Structure 1
Amino acid sequence: MFGTVSGEVEVNAPASVVWEVYGSLKLAAVIEKGFTDVLQKIEVVEGDGSVGTILNLVFQPGVAPFASYKEKFTMIDNEKRIKDSIVIEGGYLEMGFDRYFLRAEIIEKDEKSCITKATIEYELREEYAANASLVSIDGPMAMMNIVKTHILSTTN
């Protein structure tokens, strides 16, 4: 079973300013600080924020059906402002997913505003089809709003 979900948030800030956060490890720091009701911590396991960087996301007890998962940055395009990551250990993979992929895009509207877009693509074994309900754009939407609030508070 394959699936895709996505969501967008408009940000009244230049795409280049927004990408400074999304295109670096600043994203993990902003999310960790602003999403404490969901995340205990985000650890950099390996890397400097470039392709190949591995993060360990540890959730608050009882918030997710798993304690943590590791994701790896697989592509970062600074010109197109796109960052791809994939779960490589734990989390969704323990729940019957063969693939759980997340793309973050910053789409310029004009020189003073942009759209942040998150897309989740997943592949789930048929015998775990009921776990498709675990896939939700709500978490990425909340994270994009946290980053939006952070950016607007630091640029105004």
Structure 2
Amino acid sequence: MVAGSFTKECAVAVSAELLWKVAFADAWSVFLPKACAGFIDAVEIDGDGGPGSITTMKLNPAVGEATVFKTRLLAKDSAARVLKTEVLEGGKVSAQLKSQVTEVRVEPAGEGACLAKFTIEYERLDGAPLSPEDQATVAQGYLGIVKKVEAYLVAHPEEYA
């Protein structure tokens, strides 16, 4: 088996504190279905929200063949704004993978802006690296959610002020 990794980042037009608070920390299980309407129908958390907790995102059938995306929280550092999860189920590339761990870092990038940096580590079943197309597919799931969150927060600045 070959283990691989890649990193993608996304500029976001909201502060690091706000993005972290609503998308990755306290309010996210309620916020994501609202911000990602038509993509995420529901978010359920089994556990206290700390390491070991299982999160199940129920995806809208219009998204495609994957209707559930399930992860286990491995680590969460709110002070550093770093979250690490292991994918248990779901995703368009998951059938090719033995394991997938994703780390997201939310870093300030000036007044009212930040960068969301995703590092995806994986191990494929067939021992080959993921193609650039498959890497883009995996990354787009994460980046697409962040861009939907950004659009919602920009359109509703008073909601989480």
Flag whether TM exceeds 0.5 (same fold).
yes
Partner of 1:149: 151
Q: Which has the higher strand share?
A: 1
Gaps of 5+ in 1: none
Partner of 2:4: 3
Partner of 2:138: 136
Give the Å deviation of 1:108.
1.3
TM-score with structure 2 setting the length: 0.75
Q: 1:58 to 1:22 in 2, by over 3 A?
A: closer
Partner of 2:15: 14
Give the Å deviation of 1:57.
1.9
Partner of 1:123: 123
Cα distance in structure 1, aligned partners of 2:79 and 2:29: 21
Paired letter, 1:144: V
Cα distance in structure 2, aligned partners of 1:77 and 1:96: 30
> 1:95–1:128: 8 Å Cα contact kept in structure 2?
no
Give the Å deviation of 1:137.
1.2
Give the Å deviation of 1:129.
7.4
Give the Å deviation of 1:37.
3.0
Q: CA RMSD in A?
A: 3.0
| Secondary structure of 2:61's aligned partner | coil
Give the Å deviation of 1:64.
4.0
Q: 1:94 to 1:137 in 2, by over 3 A?
A: closer
Partner of 1:26: 27
Cα distance in structure 2, aligned partners of 1:32 and 1:142: 14
Give the Å deviation of 1:50.
2.3
Between Structure 1 and Structure 2, how many residues are aligned?
A: 154
Paired letter, 2:90: G
1:81 aligns with 2:81: yes
> 1:7–1:117: 8 Å Cα contact kept in structure 2?
yes
